[in-house]
Amino acid sequence: MSEEQRKCLQLIDNAQGIAQATEILCAGGTVALPSETVYGLGADATNALAVQKIFSAKNRPNGHPLIIHVENVNSARIFSDDFNVVAETLATAFWPGPLTLLVKRSSKVIDEISGGRETVALRVPAHETFQKVLHAFSQVGSGAIAAPSANKYGSVSPTTAQHVLSDMGNLIDAVLDGGNCVVGIESTIVDCTVNPPAILRQGAITLELVNSALRHTGIVATEEFTGESRAPGMKLSHYAPLATVKLFENSDALSSYEEQCALNKVPFVKILGHEDRELYARELYSLLRDADALQPKEILVLLPEPIDIGVAIRDRLFKAAAPH
Ligand code: TXA
Ligand code: MG
């Protein structure tokens, strides 16, 4: 069947939808699943052909490693030869939840997942629907789901089933609609293989939260703010809409730029976000997508303060604003 003709099953969040999603995973297909962060494009993480389908659908460069999602920490340990004290501590504190742990891989991890690296990224998601699929898939299959964000490589991540359908509806086998993602931005990634442990991607689990969980170990994690991080795919110019994104630290600066745009007849849309930073994070990608759909020349965005999840929102916005 050609990609154009291919029909994406739209599954609903009930026992039948979960059973169908599980069947597709067992058969080596691709199904977009709701997580608390963003929708992921899932496939059996132990099946090389299934994993290859994720790369093709996303148009993601081969060699970019994928996160394996599992039901619980016991299943996570199977995929690591060194699930060390940092990993154990953070897993206990934050799983299930929006945290991905980078640990030394075991021989159970196929090369297609790790991109040939010695490490693997593992996460236990908190979304009830994803949990149910993981549980069902552990009964009848590997129980390990590889899932990058369910968007085309480099574009804005999806936080609704509709986003997934509009981006890749003709490229995947199914989408399971679990409503709007409550966190709204991708998981925090902590590299547990380095000393000190390092946050490679900011998210809802902040450096402060990581360090308060680690306090009793005496280990203090750091944050990598280099645009080109050791986790491929987090280079600048990611999460990017088509319009040019301009960022502003305060509403005065935004207003005076807005006046200039009006004077020069530059079509623009503005995003003011929300003072409630958790709400801002939850709506960020919808706001960017909706703004882009109006096809303005520029999207003017008011940055949140760099506090709590505001740090992660700013990170995504800087990437959305990077030249592309
Ligand atoms: O919230 C999330 O993490 C979502 C949901 C679906 O779980 N997933 C997600 O996956 O954001 P993805 O593939 O879009 O982003 C994962 C990032 C990529 O930048 C990838 O390069 C990095 O994690 N990564 C995965 N495995 C890695 C590894 N072994 N070493 C370094 N970076 C790794
Ligand atoms: Mg992604």
Mean pLDDT of 76-96: 98
Domain ranges of the chain: 9-223, 244-321
Distances (CA, A) of 117 to 42, 47, 232: 21, 18, 11
pLDDT tens digit string along 87-123?
999 999 999 999 999 999 999 999 999 999 999 999 9
Residue range 44-48: mean pLDDT, rounded: 98
DSSP state letters, 204-252: SS-HHHHHHHHGGGT---EE---SS-SSTT-SSS-S--SSEEEEESSHH
Which residues are registered as beta bridge partners of 126?
none
Residue 183 DSSP class = S
CA–CA dist 202, 185 (Å, integer) = 9
What pTM was estimated for this model as a whole? 0.95
Mean predicted confidence (pLDDT) in 266-278: 97
Closest CA to 107 of 79, 83, 128, 84: 79
CA distance 216 to 211: 9
C-alpha–C-alpha distance, residues 13 and 132, integer Å: 10
Sheet holding 244-248, edge to edge: 244-248, 298-302, 268-271
- Alpha-carbon radius of gyration of the chain: 19
3-state secondary structure of 105: strand
Q: Which fold has domain 244-321?
A: Rossmann fold (3.40.50)
Neighbours of 276 (CB within 10 A): 11
Closest CA to 240 of 140, 320, 311, 178: 320
Q: Identify which of 66, 82, 228, 230 to mutate to test ligand 1's pocket (most ligand atoms within 8 A of the CB).
A: 66
Q: Which residues line ligand 1 (CB under 6 A)?
A: 35, 37-38, 40, 64-67, 100, 102, 114, 117, 119-121, 123, 125, 147-149, 186-187, 189, 230-234
CA distances from 130 to 35, 256, 272 (A): 6, 45, 32
Which ligand is closest to the CA of 61, given by its number? 1
What pLDDT digit, counting tens, does each position of 193-214 carry?
999 999 999 999 999 999 999 9
Q: Which CATH code for domain 9-223?
A: 3.90.870.10
CB-CB contact of 315 with 245 (8 Å): no
Ligand 1 centroid, distance to 257 Cα (angstroms)? 35
Question: Token match 């394996």: residue?
Answer: 68
Helix (H, G, I), strand (E, B) or coil at 121: strand
**pLDDT value, residue 228:** 44
State the average pLDDT over residues 253-268: 96
- Say how far apart CA 268 and CA 257 lie, in whole Å: 11
Who has greater pLDDT, 235 or 76?
76
Mean pLDDT of 79-91: 98
Which numbered atom of ligand 1 lies nearest the CA of 147? 6
CB 89 within 8 A of CB 206: no
Task: Tell me the average pLDDT of the chain.
Answer: 94
